[in-house]
């Protein structure tokens, strides 16, 4: 009898365990849990012609990619130089960098490339978008180190790079840019052996740069600086979070004053170039009036990695990540660990609010041939999961994307991935990691076929009093279609795409907007009223990708413009 009771208990335990297991892995699973897919990769083009050292998505659904001009011949030869003179078939012109395109515009819908002209070298430069969608691009190398360039996207494929008449006050090589709440005002911070910041556009020729002692204090001369490409995030109180090497401050740029000095991130190593970790500001949420501001820093290089790499020794990168709330009065880095060491990696905010960590290497540092062992598997990070369950490993690519690679989120939810060149010229043979010109897209798990019926479609946006965007704090309407009834959680996110280079995603920002009403018609159409962000401190003026997320499944984004009244 006892044996029979024991057998019954074992059977009951087995059935219960199987039920719980099936429930957890997807038996009757909600769309938002995504089952456990690992995503997939698409090869889009075999040759972009130009290495995507820098990348930016425009509101015309094109992607601007560009490289340094000193890397030699690119894949596109120009008929005319930037100054209008013809490029001939002479030996000199065949070797002349100005007779080749070093920038391209990628058309997403047409999967096609259009060459662009660059007049000066933008190697290791920075950028941000103005409120009208113009890409303002600053600095670079040599003759380009004080240049200000701009690209205004258009629909007729006739737009090209133009050069601003006024120059930067200081040389800006490996500097970072951030868009300020004031209309069309940019702040450029740092650079190699430059410990200042300045504002762009220049209001007059008398505009000077301003000393920032924080950059002096964080500079590590023995390791190539380790405070280059500082991480910049705009807090919702209008102050700037600035992170360099291992230290960070909250800075009032209006009065040139340090408001707070935060604790140093724990552990050894460094997070900024050439150690090249990455950082994001986690999505801001209407539920706390966008006042909770939390930053995250992941990866980087071990202490001494830069010098070791120059001697042919590649030290393991950092696997640690730190999260810290920079609003309020209590500040502490909460540390956790990625599935493996990583540097040269991009951190991108997906429409779901999850963080994708993609590209990079496992050992070494930034610099020509200074890294080894490519990180082929993207990591997915879910900020709201409990500690220990936030990271998952996604499907690996076969293409190494290390130094001088980039990535950006597209309106359809894919992630565009390009670039990679650890060589100082375009080199395709007899090297460990050749110059990479293939263009890929990574499709996150939410794009799996099983979730298509949950995906919102045909999103349209209408403004009440204007055809040119919505003013801060005002309501606007959206309409979209759902084949099935909506899940219990329908969210609306607004995303500012970054200017991406050297593992830094400048001006990347996501807001979870408030919905004041959500109504479903009989034919599957949904109507919602949304509330724009309350101020430019929360969302600087400009174009944002608006996305409907139904139970964790995002639809195709449409562009919305937030502006002053």
Boundaries of every domain in the chain: 451-563
What is the Cα–Cα distance from 458 to 539, expressed in whole angstroms? 25
CA angle 293, 322, 178 (to 5 degrees): 50
Confidence at residue 22, expressed as pLDDT on a 0 to 100 scale: 30
User: In b/e form, how buried is each residue of 534-548, taking b as 16+ CB within 10 angstroms?
Assistant: bbbbbbbbbbbbbbb
Query: 42-96 pLDDT, tens per residue?
Result: 999 999 999 999 999 999 999 999 999 988 889 899 988 878 899 998 988 988 9
Query: 220-233 pLDDT, tens per residue?
Result: 998 999 999 999 99
Let me know how long the chain is: 565
Confidence at residue 26, expressed as pLDDT on a 0 to 100 scale: 31
What is the Cα–Cα distance from 474 to 472, expressed in whole angstroms? 6
Confidence at residue 205, expressed as pLDDT on a 0 to 100 scale: 77
What is the Cα–Cα distance from 348 to 278, expressed in whole angstroms? 10
Whose tokens are 């801060």? That residue is 472
Per-residue pLDDT, averaged over 405-432, amounts to 96
* Band of pLDDT at residue 265, cut at 50, 70 and 90: very high
Q: Which region among 24-33, 134-143, 172-181 has the lowest average model confidence (pLDDT)? A: 24-33
- Residue 22 and residue 14 in contact, taking contact as beta carbons nearer than 8 Å: no
Query: 114-164 pLDDT, tens per residue?
Result: 999 998 999 999 999 999 999 999 999 999 999 999 999 998 888 999 999
Q: What percent of the residues of the chain are helix, what percent strand, and what percent coil, each to the nearest 5?
A: 10, 35, 50
Grouping H, G, I as helix, E, B as strand and the rest as coil, residue 221 is: helix
Confidence at residue 36, expressed as pLDDT on a 0 to 100 scale: 62
Give the whole-number percent of the chain exceeding pLDDT 70: 93
Give the whole-number percent of the chain exceeding pLDDT 90: 83
- Whether the pLDDT of residue 33 is over 50: the answer is no
* Band of pLDDT at residue 23, cut at 50, 70 and 90: very low
- Whether the pLDDT of residue 11 is over 60: the answer is no
What is the Cα–Cα distance from 559 to 133, expressed in whole angstroms? 11
Confidence at residue 232, expressed as pLDDT on a 0 to 100 scale: 98
- Residue 74 and residue 435 in contact, taking contact as beta carbons nearer than 8 Å: no
Grouping H, G, I as helix, E, B as strand and the rest as coil, residue 343 is: strand
Strand pairing of 509-512 and 284-285? parallel
- Residue 413 and residue 444 in contact, taking contact as beta carbons nearer than 8 Å: yes
Q: Taking the model in full, what pTM does it have?
A: 0.92
Confidence at residue 5, expressed as pLDDT on a 0 to 100 scale: 38
- Residue 421 and residue 50 in contact, taking contact as beta carbons nearer than 8 Å: no
- Residue 510 and residue 493 in contact, taking contact as beta carbons nearer than 8 Å: yes
Confidence at residue 463, expressed as pLDDT on a 0 to 100 scale: 86
What is the Cα–Cα distance from 383 to 73, expressed in whole angstroms? 43
Per-residue pLDDT, averaged over 176-186, amounts to 94
What CATH number has the domain spanning 451-563?
2.60.40.10
Residue 464: which region, alpha, beta or left (left: phi > 0; alpha: psi -120 to 50)? alpha
What is the Cα–Cα distance from 248 to 392, expressed in whole angstroms? 28
Confidence at residue 202, expressed as pLDDT on a 0 to 100 scale: 84
Confidence at residue 83, expressed as pLDDT on a 0 to 100 scale: 81
What is the Cα–Cα distance from 229 to 50, expressed in whole angstroms? 22
Per-residue pLDDT, averaged over 355-364, amounts to 98
- Whether the pLDDT of residue 170 is over 90: the answer is yes
Per-residue pLDDT, averaged over 16-36, amounts to 36
Confidence at residue 4, expressed as pLDDT on a 0 to 100 scale: 39
Mean pLDDT of the chain: 92
HSE of 131 in the Cβ direction (CA atoms, 13 Å)? 19
Full strand arrangement of the beta sheet holding 525-531: 457-463, 475-481, 525-531, 514-520
Grouping H, G, I as helix, E, B as strand and the rest as coil, residue 231 is: strand
* Band of pLDDT at residue 490, cut at 50, 70 and 90: very high
Per-residue pLDDT, averaged over 356-363, amounts to 98
Per-residue pLDDT, averaged over 472-478, amounts to 96
Per-residue pLDDT, averaged over 338-366, amounts to 98
């Amino acid at each position: 009898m006892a044996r029979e009771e024991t057998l019954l208990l074992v059977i009951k335990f087995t059935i219960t365990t199987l039920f719980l297991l099936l429930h957890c892995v997807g038996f009757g699973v909600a769309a938002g849990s995504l089952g456990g897919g690992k995503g997939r990769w698409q090869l889009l083009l075999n040759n972009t012609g130009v290495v995507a050292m820098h990348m930016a998505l425009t509101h015309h659904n094109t992607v601007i990619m560009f490289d340094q001009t000193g890397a030699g011949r690119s894949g596109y030869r120009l008929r005319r130089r930037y100054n209008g003179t013809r490029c001939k078939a002479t030996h000199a012109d065949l070797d002349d960098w100005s007779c080749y395109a070093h920038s391209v515009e990628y058309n997403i819908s047409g999967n096609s490339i259009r060459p662009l002209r660059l007049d000066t070298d933008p190697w290791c430069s920075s950028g941000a978008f103005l409120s009208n969608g113009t890409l303002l691009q600053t600095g670079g190398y040599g003759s380009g180190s004080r240049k200000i360039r701009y690209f205004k996207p258009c629909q007729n494929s006739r737009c090209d790079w133009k050069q601003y008449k006024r120059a930067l006050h200081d040389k800006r090589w490996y500097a970072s840019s951030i868009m300020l709440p004031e209309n069309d005002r940019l702040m450029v911070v740092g650079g190699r052996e430059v410990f200042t910041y300045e504002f762009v556009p220049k209001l007059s020729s008398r505009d000077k740069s301003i000393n920032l002692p924080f950059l002096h204090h964080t500079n590590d001369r023995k390791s190539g600086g380790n405070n280059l490409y500082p991480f910049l995030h705009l807090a919702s109180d209008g102050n700037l979070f600035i992170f360099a090497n291992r230290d960070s401050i909250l800075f009032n740029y209006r009065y040139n004053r340090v408001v707070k000095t935060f604790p140093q991130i724990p552990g050894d190593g460094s997070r900024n170039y050439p150690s090249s970790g990455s950082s994001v500001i986690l999505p801001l949420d209407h539920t706390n009036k966008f006042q909770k501001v939390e930053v995250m820093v992941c990866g980087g290089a071990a202490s001494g990695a830069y010098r070791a790499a120059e001697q042919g020794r590649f030290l393991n990168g950092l696997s640690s990540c730190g999260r810290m709330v920079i609003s309020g009065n209590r500040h502490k880095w909460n540390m956790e660990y990625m599935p493996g060491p990583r540097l040269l990696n991009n951190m991108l905010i997906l429409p779901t609010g999850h963080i994708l960590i993609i590209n990079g290497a496992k050992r070494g540092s930034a610099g020509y041939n200074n890294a080894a062992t490519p990180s082929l598997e993207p990591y997915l990070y879910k900020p709201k999961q409990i500690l220990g369950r936030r990271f998952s490993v996604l499907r690996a690519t076969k293409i190494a994307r290390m130094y001088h690679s980039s990535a950006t989120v597209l309106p359809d939810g894919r992630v565009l991935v390009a670039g990679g060149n650890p060589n100082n010229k375009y080199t395709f043979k007899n090297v460990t990691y050749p110059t990479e010109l293939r263009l890929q897209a990574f499709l996150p798990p939410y794009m799996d076929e099983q979730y298509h019926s949950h995906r919102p479609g045909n999103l349209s946006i209408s403004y009440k009093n204007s055809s040119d965007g919505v003013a801060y704090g005002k309501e606007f309407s959206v309409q979209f279609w759902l084949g099935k009834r909506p899940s219990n959680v329908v969210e609306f996110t607004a995303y500012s795409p970054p200017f991406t280079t050297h593992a830094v995603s400048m001006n990347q920002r996501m807001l979870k907007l408030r919905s004041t009403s959500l109504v479903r018609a009989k034919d599957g159409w949904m109507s919602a009223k949304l509330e724009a962000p309350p101020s430019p401190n929360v969302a600087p003026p400009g174009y944002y990708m608006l996305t409907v997320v139904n139970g964790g499944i995002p639809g195709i984004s449409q562009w919305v413009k937030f502006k002053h009244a």
